[in-house]
């Protein structure tokens, strides 16, 4: 029985400023780098056989800390990139609310119906999550312990996929920066052992929900 560790990237300036970053390829800030090291220290005693990462910079910077701690290579996958928020990327919540009030209402209250202008909806992104799982299991089998570093939106969708949670309940799942959610893999049948574990962070290294 393998373990799957779903890990969110560390903090970016857009996280700190409550901006939608989506597929904007932004780096970790200083706090994010410190968070990533704390996560790597936490994972040091856990057996890891393979590491996968979103191909986006903030995820790769987080992954590199884990890979160095475990002395393992890692593979990046475009399938694990964050959801594309289209025209919302780089904007603050208040700006989006003013310009797209109905779309913002759908995003917050019925995300299954949400479609960002020139972006990707949650159903399409969930299909990417399913394909990413299929690719990883095809390459690694079902008995290895695998770390997958990605994004808040992607991890929520992965958890919805495993638990059969409707997309409209997406925001009932919290996913903090560098939090670790653990799945058990019973020959391809996944179950959730823990979610959003981030108590290894010092109080001075807060983690953002979105």
pLDDT digit string (tens) for the chain, length 210 residues = 899 999 999 999 999 888 899 999 999 999 999 999 999 999 999 999 999 999 999 999 999 999 999 999 999 999 999 999 999 999 999 999 999 999 999 999 999 999 999 999 999 999 999 999 999 999 999 999 999 999 999 999 999 999 999 999 999 999 999 999 999 998 778 999 999 999 999 755 555 655
Query: If you count DSSP H runs as helices and E runs as strands, how many of each does the chain have, helices first?
Result: 7, 6
- How far lies 202's CA from each of 17, 43, 164, in Å? 21, 15, 33
* Predicted TM-score (pTM) of this structure: 0.94
In Å, the largest CA–CA distance within the chain is 49
């Amino acid at each position: 029985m393998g373990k799957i560790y779903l890990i969110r990237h560390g903090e970016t300036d857009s996280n700190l400023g409550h901006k939608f970053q989506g597929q904007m390829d932004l780096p970790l800030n200083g706090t994010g780098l410190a968070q990533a090291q704390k996560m790597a220290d936490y994972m040091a005693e856990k057996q890891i056989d393979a590491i996968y990462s979103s191909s986006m910079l903030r995820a790769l910077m987080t992954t590199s800390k884990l890979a160095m701690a475990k002395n393992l290579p890692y593979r990046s996958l475009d399938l694990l990139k964050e959801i594309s928020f289209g025209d919302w990327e780089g904007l603050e919540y208040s700006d989006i609310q003013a310009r797209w009030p109905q779309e913002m209402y759908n995003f917050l209250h019925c995300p299954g119906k949400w479609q960002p202008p020139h972006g990707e909806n949650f159903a399409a992104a969930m299909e990417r999550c399913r394909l990413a799982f299929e690719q990883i299991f095809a390459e690694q089998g079902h008995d290895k312990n695998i770390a997958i570093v990605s994004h808040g939106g992607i991890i929520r969708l992965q958890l919805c996929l495993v638990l059969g949670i409707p997309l409209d309940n997406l925001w009932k799942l919290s996913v903090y920066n560098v939090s670790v959610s653990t799945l058990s893999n019973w020959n391809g049948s996944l179950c959730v052992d823990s979610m959003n574990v981030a108590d290894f962070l010092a109080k001075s290294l807060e983690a953002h929900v979105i």
